[in-house]
Amino acid sequence: GAGVSQSPSNKVTEKGKDVELRCDPISGHTALYWYRQSLGQGLEFLIYFQGNSAPDKSGLPSDRFSAERTGGSVSTLTIQRTQQEDSAVYLCASSPRTVLGYTFGSGTRLTVV
Amino acid sequence: DQQVKQNSPSLSVQEGRISILNCDYTNSMFDYFLWYKKYPAEGPTFLISISSIKDKNEDGRFTVFLNKSAKHLSLHIVPSQPGDSAVYFCAASVPYSGAGSYQLTFGKGTKLSVIP
């Protein structure tokens, strides 16, 4: 596609429920990143995928968070048993494997009530 | 421990004047620095970058200055325009090691308001 597409744009969920956030990167971009921005905070790195390599999960805040990237394209970030502190904007970015090539999606605003 | 710090959460500037946004970092391994601009309900968009081997990079109205000894960089916007009103994020990366990612470390952002 022309840009990085994320869905849904907004998600309200009850505490304890599982949620799935989707990212469709730019075609041909081999690298895919998930970041999140909590209220009043900067963008926090969560996870990185590069081709068929093992993902860099060093930023995931707990084992309730997981992500997959199927076929080297679409990625899904799953948060199990959501907590109120998970409320944030979750941003996906893709890149042709350079620092300069980062393109962000518009994000998913997750609200846990 | 915040490795990239933007100590001013907000800044207001009159249209036509200079806007100066500041950023400090603590990790001496950072070798590339970027500024992103973010409008509400949109993702951040790349604005300008600078390599650690330079001390200045200019692109139109935007100039980024890097002071490595002080671990400080700044973004200058001259002249400021109302359309520049947005949140500006400073970001930094370490050299690619052949493993891992081009992970960016971001500051908390500065909200710039340009007053007409």
| pLDDT given for residue A68 in this prediction | 94
Residue A97 has pLDDT above 70, yes or no: no
A74 in contact with chain B, both atoms CB, cutoff 8 A = no
Give me the pLDDT at residue B30, please.
92
What token pair was written down for B61?
Answer: 């109205």
Residue pair B3/B103 in contact (Cβ under 8 Å)? The answer is no
* DSSP secondary structure, A77-98, as one string: EEE-S--GGG-EEEEEEEESSS
CA-nearest residue to A31 within chain B is B101
The larger pLDDT score, comparing residue A97 to residue B115, is at: B115
The distance of A74 to chain B (nearest Cα, Å) reads: 18
Q: Return the bridge partners of B45, or none.
A: B37
Considering only A10-14, A89-93, A94-98, which range has the smallest mean pLDDT?
A94-98
Is pLDDT larger for residue B116 or for residue B98? Answer: B116
Residue B60 is classified by DSSP as T
Q: Using alpha carbons, select from A10, A16, A4, A2 the residue that is nearest to residue A79.
A: A16
Q: What percent of chain B has pLDDT over 90?
A: 83
Structure tokens that stand for B84 in this block: 């520049």
Q: State pLDDT tens for residues B11-27.
A: 999 999 999 999 999 99
Taking the Cβ of residue A33 and every Cβ of chain B, the question of whether any pair is shorter than 8 Å is answered with: yes
CA atoms of A44 and A20, how far apart (whole Å): 18
B74 has pLDDT over 90: yes
| Mean pLDDT (chain A, rounded) | 91
- H helices of B26-108, where? none
Half-sphere exposure of B18 toward its Cβ, with a 13 Å CA cutoff? 9
Percentage of chain A modeled with pLDDT above 70: 96
Q: Binning pLDDT at 50, 70 and 90, where does residue A42 land?
A: confident
Which pair of tokens denotes residue B18? Answer: 């200079």
Option in B42, B49, B108 nearest A41 (CB): B108
All residues of chain A having their beta carbon less than 8 Å from the beta carbon of residue B45 are: 104
Alpha-carbon Rg of chain B, whole angstroms? 14
CA distance B51 to chain A (A): 11
Whole-number pLDDT of residue B97: 62
User: Are the Cβ atoms of B108 and A42 closer than 8 angstroms?
Assistant: yes
Query: Do residues A80 and A18 lie in contact, with contact meaning Cβ atoms separated by under 8 Å?
Result: yes
Residue of B nearest to A33 (CA): B103
Residue A27, pLDDT > 70, answer: yes
